Amino acid sequence: MYSAADLRKGLKVVIDNEPYIVIAFDFSKPGKGQALYRTKLRNMITGLTIDRTYREGETFEPASLEERAMQYLYREDHHYYFMDNETFEQIIISEEALGDAKNFLIENLNVKVLMFRDKAIGVDLPNFVNLRVIKTELWVKGDTSKADYKPATVETGYMLRVPPFVEEGELITLDTRTGEYSTRVKG
């Protein structure tokens, strides 16, 4: 168990049966009053932040989160199937829990799945993934009247802006942290 005096940035605790990470923390003590621990916490499942003030002596269960190496297999409606690389166990993660990560999932992609009490709550992707462009407008060489970027759709259904020279069927690299185009994959 942690006590309020252990609170600090980055600490992961369980509140109302959900894992939270402390993202801001300060100790305060109004003159002659009791010690108060003011925190800003982010729910590690929903991403929502809350402000909470705790008193000395309050206790917290540490949120033990486990990271497991897995491979993305396939999708069925809103369910995404992954396989544990060590145990070959298959797990399902909902579209909601995946958040933006779903935009970058292609079959056989190796990811890290964050588990809380045997439930998958999120996925850590590689920083860069290669995805094929399945739809984009044609670019007329030499046409300078058009904008510097044009819309494109990749194989996961995700839409982004790409430079005008990118063509349908090409493989491009995306930065999963920003969701933006990074470069073309040659060959």
Partner 1 sequence: MVENWLLASRRKALQQRALIIHGIRQFFIDQGYLEVETPHRIPTPAPESHIDAIPSGSWFLHTSPELCMKRMLAAGYEKIFQICRCWRDGERGSRHVPEFTLLEWYRSSCDYRALMEDCEALIQAVAGSVGLGERIIFYNHEIDLRGPWKRISVKEAFECYAKISMTEALERNLFDEIMVQDIEPKLGLERPTFISDYPAERAAMARLKEADQSVAERFELYIGGLEIANAFSELINPAEQRKRFDLENSIRRSLGKPIYPVPEKFLAELEGMPPSAGIALGVDRLVMVFVNAETIGDVVAFTPEEL
- Residue 12 Cβ vs partner 1, minimum distance, rounded to whole Å: 21
Under the criterion CB under 8 A, does residue 3 sit at the interface with partner 1?
Answer: no
> What is the spatial distance between Cα 98 and Cα 104, in angstroms, rounded to a whole number?
10
| CB 28, min distance to partner 1, A | 5
Tell me: does residue 31 bind partner 1 (CB under 8 A): yes
Residue 56 or residue 89: which is nearer to partner 1 going by CB? 56
Phi, psi of 92 (to 5 degrees): -115, 135
CA distances to 48, 74, 98, 149 from 103, rounded to whole Å, are 21, 13, 9, 20
* Interface residue with partner 1, options 6, 9, 26, 135 (CB under 8 A): 26
Q: Between 25 and 158, name the residue whose CB sits nearer to partner 1.
A: 25
Contact 135, 152 (CB under 8 A): yes
Least distance to partner 1 from the beta carbon of 13, Å? 18
Contacting partner 1 (CB under 8 A), which of 9, 28, 126, 128? 28
Position 144 contacts partner 1 (CB under 8 A)? no
Residue 53 interacts with partner 1 (CB under 8 A): yes or no: yes
- By beta-carbon proximity to partner 1, the closer residue of 46 and 53 is 53
Residues contacting partner 1: total by CB under 8 A: 16
Does 165 participate in binding partner 1 (rule CB under 8 A)?
no
33 lines the binding site for partner 1 (CB under 8 A): yes
Minimal distance in Å, beta carbon 29 to partner 1? 6
User: Which residue ranges make up the site for partner 1 (CB under 8 A)?
Assistant: 5, 26-36, 38, 53, 56-57
